[in-house]
Amino acid sequence: MSTRKIGPASLARLMGGWHRVGGKVPAYRQIQHALRLLILDGRLPIGVRLPGERHLAEVLGVSRTTIGAAYAGLRDLGFVVSRHGSGSLTRLPSEAKRLPDEAHDDSLMEFSIAAPPAPKEIHAAYTSALAELPIYLPALGYEPAGLVGLRQVIADRYVRRGVPTAPDEILVTQGAQHGLVLALSLLSRPGDQVVVDQPTYPKALDAIANASCQAIPVPLPPSGWDIEMLDATLRQTGARISYLIPDFHNPSGRCMNEFSRAALAKIMVDRGCNLIVDETMADLWLDQGPPSPVAHFDRGGKIISLGSMSKSYWGGMRIGWVRADRDIIRAMALHRSSHDMGGPVLEQLAAMSLLRNEESSLPDKRDQIRRQRDHLLALLGRKFPDWNFENPQGGLSVWVELPVPVAIALTAAAREQGLRIAPGSRFGVDGALNRFLRLPYSLPESSIDVAVERLSCAWDNVANGKCRTTKLDPDNLTSAI
C-alpha cells in the first residue's frame, strides 16, 4: 500500500474549525477528535503519514506537547501507528470487531445518508422478474451493455421526456456512480480537469479523484446556476469534461431552469466539452416536474446523462444507466468488461417491471417525501432561527448554512449525541464549506423529530457549551465507518 504524506497546512485545512467554540474539552482531545473523524469519514485515507508534531503544532498555533498528546491518544485508540523511521501513519483500529456494514445498526442514528427505504412495489417487481427468468437461463448471462428489453424501456422514458433515444444509446450500469466512473474512465485522462458545482455530490468528487483528475469547483450563486461563470471557467481552464446535477441538485435540491439548460448545452458544443449530467434525483420533484432533460437541448452529442433507481426506488436494487451518443455507449460497453461483466439478469428484469409502471409508485413516494421535507423545514425554522436554508424543490436533502464555520465540530458533537450527520466540507473541494450541513428528509417524520432534537443538543454544545456530555463515550464509537 502507498505511503502518502499530508503536509501540516493541508491537514489544518482538512480539520477546518476543529476547536469547539466555548467547549471545555482540552485542545489535545479536540484535535484527536477532529483527526479521528477525518479518518472515519475517509477524508484522511488510511496509510497516510501525518505531519511531524512540531510542524503541525506551528500551523495550528498550539504547543508541541498538545499534538504529542493527541497523536498518543490516536495511537491508543488504534487510529495511528508509529513506525521507526516512517513517522505516524493513519490506520483503522483492527480490534474494532464490528463490520462496516453494521454501522447502520449501531447506537448512532443515521442522518447523513439521503436515501429512502424500499417502496412496496419492489417485492412485486422481483416476483414478476422471477417469472420471466427461465427464458434467460439457457444463455450465458453476460450482457455488458444490459438486456435489450431494459435498454428499450429506459430509451422510451427519454422519448416521453422529449429526448429521442434508441436502445443502443443506453448502457445499463450498477447505478449512477458506476455510470460516472465508466464515463470518466472513457473520456478522461490522468491530470484532466473536471468542472463541477460547489457544493456537489461527495462521491462524484471521489470518482474524479480516483480517475486521477482534478475537480475545478464553480460556486453555486444564491439561486440557480451561474452559467456565465461556468462558461468562463471552461474557457480559462480548457477543461473538456464537466459534471453537474441540474435536476434537484445534491445537496441543495435546486432545479435548473429551461433557459440555463439550453445555454449550457450550447456552451458545451462551443467549447468542445463533454457534460456529464447526473439525473439521479430527477424523478423526485416535489413542487413541479423539472424542464426537459439537458440532453433535449444537445446539438452536438456532448451530453452524457446518468440515471439511477436507487433514490426513486431503493438503494438495495443496483440499477442505473448512461444515455449518450451511440459511439460513446458502444465504446463504454467494450471498455466496461475489463471492470465487470455486466449486471445481474434478474435485477434488470425487476427494474424493467418497475420502470414500465413508474407512475403507479412515484406519486405516492413524492407525496410522502414532500410531507417529510415540509416537516423538517418547519422544525429547522423553529429550532434554529439563526440558520439559513433554501427550500429544496426536489431531491432528498436541504443544504443548511450555519452562522459560523463549525460544521466539522458540530458533526463531532452530534456523534456524542448519537447522531451521524454530513458536514458541508464533504461536498466541496479542498475541505471548504465548513459553514454548511446537508440534512436529509428521507426519514419518517418521527425519526426526523428525534434527529433534530439530538442535533439541537449538539448545536447548543458547540455554540454555547450548554448541553452536558452524554454517557456515550465518544472513544467507543469507532464502528462508525
**In the window 111-150, what residues touch its own copies (CB under 8 A)?**
113, 115-118, 122-123, 126-127, 130, 133-134, 136-148
Does 100 interact with its own copies (rule: CB under 8 A)? yes
Does 279 interact with its own copies (rule: CB under 8 A)? no
Closest approach of Cβ 469 to its own copies, in Å? Answer: 29
Instruction: Name the percent of the chain in helix, strand, coil, to the closest 5.
Output: 45, 15, 40
Tell me the window of 59-67, 109-117, 245-253, 430-438 that interacts with its own copies (CB under 8 A).
109-117
Q: Nearest to residue 344, comparing CAs of 157, 165, 129, 131?
A: 129
Could you say which of 53, 110, 278, 416 contacts its own copies (CB under 8 A)? 110
Tell me the window of 5-13, 20-28, 336-344, 409-417 that interacts with its own copies (CB under 8 A).
336-344
Nearer to its own copies, 143 or 197 (CB): 143
Question: By the 8 A CB rule, do 140 and 345 touch?
Answer: no
Displacement of CA 189 from its chain's centroid (Å): 23
Closest approach of Cβ 420 to its own copies, in Å? Answer: 13
3-state secondary structure 365-378: HHHHHHHHHHHHHH
Q: Nearest to residue 268, comparing CAs of 292, 294, 306?
A: 294
* DSSP letter (8 states) at residue 474: G
Does 13 interact with its own copies (rule: CB under 8 A)? no
Q: Which residues, other chains included, contact 372 with Cβ-Cβ below 8 Å and sequence gap of 6+?
A: 441, 442, 443, 444, 445, 448
Tell me the window of 183-191, 371-379, 384-392, 449-457 that interacts with its own copies (CB under 8 A).
183-191
3-state secondary structure of 155: helix
Tell me the window of 6-14, 25-33, 170-178, 458-466 that interacts with its own copies (CB under 8 A).
170-178
* DSSP letter (8 states) at residue 5: B
**d(C-alpha 62, C-alpha 19), whole Å:** 11
**d(C-alpha 301, C-alpha 287), whole Å:** 31
Tell me the window of 15-23, 24-32, 342-350, 372-380 that interacts with its own copies (CB under 8 A).
342-350
**d(C-alpha 254, C-alpha 461), whole Å:** 31
Does 101 interact with its own copies (rule: CB under 8 A)? yes
Binding residues among 47-76 for its own copies as defined by CB under 8 A: 47
Question: By the 8 A CB rule, do 328 and 186 touch?
Answer: yes
Nearer to its own copies, 67 or 352 (CB): 352
Nearer to its own copies, 333 or 380 (CB): 333
Closest approach of Cβ 42 to its own copies, in Å? Answer: 5
